[in-house]
Structure 1
């Protein structure tokens, strides 16, 4: 079984969804420390032809709390309006905006569940059938840290392959995983490009941008455009 584990990121870039699609099971790592100023609740979109950072507004956000101990503000209408005005002339706006609207109107305001729901919604839209679970639902040794905890979770889930984002090369050691009978792989995302109105292409924006300008079939071709190393 191929396993991937990531903190919940709100509307992340396409590489995050490549990781999900490459795995049989994707574990949302929601019972770890919230990183303030990280990528859990923010990303980039296109606004007036430029790269623009958007934020999911939170309440009670603190680096002293776990991700699943933080809440989302109940009113995200400002963000929804910004997305509408930025993309309402995009070729796939109608179908993509419907997904985003449902995501931002989700009733459960727990940050982990809110973002988890957004990931599940987008996976359903893109026809990604990977099993998605929450780390907080597992009985495990929470005293472990870093690589040892990832190996521990992988063994609990009977994973024989663990796939991580390319940035994990500095964090995880293939030999340590091999000793636990787990094959460690890193996903290397190839550069993708597509038409963004009449602007010069700006890469690595949110999956939101990808959905606005590409069909589901085109996005799935991008999702398969990677290498495991």
Structure 2
């Protein structure tokens, strides 16, 4: 069984979705500390040809809290303001009429904490892209939460019966091929290949939110993007 584990990121870039799509089960790592300035509550969209951060407003975000403990600000005025930003950015994109209702559903999900909020968005986007990976919420697993880093990941792998563990390429320095092999698990790192597509008539801006890809490409092309990666293994 192929397993992936990551913090819940808000409408993340294509590499994150490649990882979800590549595995059988994907653990939403909601019981680790919130990372301020990271990707849990924000991503980048295209505005007037340039990348722009797009944020989920929150209450009391702190690196001393677990991700699941950070609350979302579901004020309607803020939600509508964010929807107007999406409209201004992508109104003329070819798939705007199909994708805008999805982002509206995501922003209006009314989930109380950021982990549930992002998890809900995963289901919306996976349904659109026909991704059938099973999601598991980390805090629902009976595990030793005193474990850290690789040891905690290995514990989750054992609980769920993983035979292969997939991680994004940026995590190469965090995990040991030997340690995973000693536990009977094959460790693999997923590296996204060069993916480009037309964004209006601008110079291409890479690694934006999946929202950008969805606005400019049909689902069949996005499905091809989902498989456009290289696996690195020992």
TM-score under structure 2 length normalisation:
0.96
Q: Residue 107 of structure 1 is aligned with which of 110, 121, 125?
A: 110
Residue of structure 1 equivalent to 2:186: 183
The residue correspondences of 1:1-80 to structure 2 (distance < 5 A) are 1-75=1-75, 76-80=79-83
| Structure-1 separation of matches of 2:206 and 2:24 | 27
| Structure-1 separation of matches of 2:102 and 2:31 | 26
Residue of structure 1 equivalent to 2:204: 201
Does the 8 Å CA contact 1:30/1:136 hold for their aligned counterparts? yes
Q: Residue 157 of structure 1 is aligned with which of 155, 160, 166?
A: 160
Shift of 1:129: 0.3
How many equivalent residue pairs?
229
Residue of structure 2 equivalent to 1:171: 174
Gaps of 5+ in 2: none
Shift of 1:200: 1.1
| Structure-2 separation of matches of 1:133 and 1:158 | 13
Secondary structure in structure 1 of the residue aligned to 2:27: strand
Shift of 1:86: 0.6
TM-score under structure 1 length normalisation:
0.99
**CA-atom RMSD, angstroms?**
0.7
| Structure-2 separation of matches of 1:74 and 1:65 | 19
| Structure-2 separation of matches of 1:154 and 1:190 | 27
Does the 8 Å CA contact 1:8/1:40 hold for their aligned counterparts? yes
Q: Residue 137 of structure 2 is aligned with which of 123, 134, 137?
A: 134
Gaps of 5+ in 1: none
Runs of 4+ off more than 4 Å: none
